[in-house]
């Protein structure tokens, strides 16, 4: 496969996943802001979402940190490279660049989502009913993944698509958990109280993992169990361990397909081994924020190594 096509497939799936993940971050901020004891209105929650999203640097410091302004920046702002609109625009641009490498169903799912997002009605929906807009974005991500999984060949192109998905998903799960850190940072007295417990379950809801968590841990919604489910549980589809396992597997597929291994494979195995050998006691002792920050750096290094190994350009 041409490196340009591999690059387009990798980033196509990353952008679609990123759009959905940005919606999940907003869902978490929205639910946390509903708590009456969550500080001065909804300032801290939306500031936390900005910090965890990695988009805070580009946000106008003169703009208030309220739902309307922050969500508009994260959804429609053209100057924010990770806004949901820009993610769908970039995803379609990558799809168009290698139109013959994807199926008609994949193109239609992506193109229809962008066309609908551009309509004025979607702007109004985001302002008047943010939860419904968030659900719409998540449905578009699920529709694209469904079209991909049910129609595309299981060749090296599929591996690049899956690599993009799980690199981006691992990044998002770590950021969702880190929102919890940013929210409680100013008010450590809230740790362990009712607000704290509600915010932890909000992490599960934003990750679409509440029902799956209940199947495993029943009603034990403790921070320890929730963090374990989203970090170390290999059966949780959005956990760091599961994402790292999938990344390792698809890199192994590529190594067999191309008949050679490279340092990126060892790097992926190292990250996966770190997660499989870690214990939650050690992670909480080290500091959850510190652990997540280290993982985000490792994930970014792995993403860059994939690009270097397969001669991608940067996007």
- Report in angstroms the alpha-carbon separations of 203 from 28, 99, 207, 211: 6, 37, 6, 13
Q: How confident is the model over 275-288, as pLDDT tens digits?
A: 999 999 999 898 89
Residue 34 main-chain phi, psi, to 5 deg: -75, -20
The phi-psi region of residue 311 (left if phi > 0; otherwise alpha if psi is between -120 and 50; otherwise beta) is left
Per-position DSSP letters for 23-62, written without gaps between them: HHHHHHHHHHHT-TTSSSTTHHHHHHHHHHHT-GGGS-TT
Tell whether 139 and 202 lie within a shared domain: no
Closest CA to 167 of 270, 56, 251, 82: 251
Tell whether 132 and 190 lie within a shared domain: no
Per-position DSSP letters for 66-79, written without gaps between them: SHHHHHHHHHT-TT
- Total domain count, the chain: 2
Percent of the chain with pLDDT over 70: 91
Rounded Cα distance, 13 and 175, in Å: 19
Tell whether 165 and 306 lie within a shared domain: yes
Percent of the chain with pLDDT over 90: 73
Q: Which two tokens stand for residue 47?
A: 């500031």
pLDDT at 41: 43
Tell whether 58 and 162 lie within a shared domain: no
Q: How confident is the model at residue 22 (pLDDT cuts 50, 70, 90)?
A: very high
pLDDT at 183: 57
- pTM for this model (two decimals): 0.91
pLDDT, averaged across the chain: 90
Q: Is the pLDDT of residue 38 over 50?
A: no
Rounded Cα distance, 93 and 306, in Å: 21
Tell whether 293 and 278 lie within a shared domain: yes
Secondary structure of residue 207 in the 3-state scheme: coil
**Angle of helix 3-33 relative to helix 130-151, nearest 10 degrees?**
150
Tell whether 91 and 169 lie within a shared domain: no
- Mean of the pLDDT values across residues 11-37? 90
- Mean of the pLDDT values across residues 215-235? 93
- Report in angstroms the alpha-carbon separations of 130 from 75, 101, 113, 301: 11, 35, 17, 34
Tell whether 18 and 118 lie within a shared domain: yes
Could you say which of 119, 151, 183 is where a domain stops?
Answer: 151
Least confident of 32-46, 115-129, 195-209, 266-280: 32-46
Buried b (16+ CB within 10 A) or exposed e, 9-39: bbbbbbbbbbbbbbbbbbbbbbbbbebeebb
Is the Cβ–Cβ distance between 148 and 101 less than 8 Å? Answer: no
Q: How confident is the model at residue 42 (pLDDT cuts 50, 70, 90)?
A: very low
Q: Is the pLDDT of residue 43 over 70?
A: no
Sign, CA dihedral 296-298-301-306, equals negative
Q: How confident is the model over 89-135, as pLDDT tens digits?
A: 999 999 999 999 999 999 999 999 999 999 999 999 999 999 999 99
Secondary structure of residue 259 in the 3-state scheme: coil
Q: How confident is the model at residue 315 (pLDDT cuts 50, 70, 90)?
A: confident
Could you say which of 86, 117, 151 is where a domain stops?
Answer: 151
Is the Cβ–Cβ distance between 72 and 126 less than 8 Å? Answer: yes
pLDDT at 201: 87
The 3-state DSSP composition of the chain as helix, strand, coil percent (nearest 5) reads 75, 0, 25
Q: Is the pLDDT of residue 165 over 90?
A: yes
pLDDT at 255: 95
**Domain span at residue 34?**
1-151
- Mean of the pLDDT values across residues 51-56? 88
Tell whether 102 and 160 lie within a shared domain: no
Secondary structure of residue 63 in the 3-state scheme: coil
- Mean of the pLDDT values across residues 128-152? 97
């Amino acid at each position: 496969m041409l490196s340009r096509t591999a690059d387009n497939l990798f980033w196509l799936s990353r952008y679609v996943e990123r759009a959905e993940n940005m919606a999940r971050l907003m869902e978490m901020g929205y639910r946390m802001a509903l708590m009456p004891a969550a500080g001065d209105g909804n300032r801290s929650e939306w500031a936390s979402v900005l910090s965890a999203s990695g988009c805070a640097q580009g946000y106008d410091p003169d703009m208030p940190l309220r739902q309307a302004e922050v969500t508009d920046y994260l959804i429609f702002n053209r100057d924010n490279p990770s806004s949901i609109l820009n993610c769908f625009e970039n995803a379609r641009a990558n799809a168009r660049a290698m139109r013959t490498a994807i199926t008609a169903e994949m193109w239609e799912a992506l193109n229809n989502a962008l066309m609908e997002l551009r309509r004025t009605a979607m702007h109004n929906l985001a302002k008047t009913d943010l939860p419904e807009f968030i659900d719409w974005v998540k449905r578009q991500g699920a529709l694209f993944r469904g079209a991909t999984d049910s129609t595309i060949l299981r060749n090296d192109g599929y591996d690049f698509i899956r690599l993009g998905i799980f690199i981006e998903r691992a990044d998002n799960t770590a950021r969702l958990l880190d929102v919890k850190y940013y929210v409680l940072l100013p008010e450590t007295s809230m740790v362990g109280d009712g607000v704290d417990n509600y915010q932890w379950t909000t992490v599960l809801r934003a990750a679409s993992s509440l029902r799956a968590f209940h199947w495993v841990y029943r009603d034990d919604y403790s921070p320890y169990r929730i963090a374990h489910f989203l970090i170390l549980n290999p059966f949780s589809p959005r956990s760091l361990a599961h994402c790292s396992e999938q990344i390792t597997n698809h890199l192994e597929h590529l190594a067999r397909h191309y008949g050679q291994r490279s340092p990126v494979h060892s790097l992926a195995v190292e990250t996966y081994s770190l997660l499989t050998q870690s214990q939650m006691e050690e992670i909480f002792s080290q500091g959850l924020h510190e652990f997540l920050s280290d993982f985000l750096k490792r994930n970014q290094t792995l993403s860059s190594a994939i690009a270097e190994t397969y001669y991608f350009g940067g996007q």
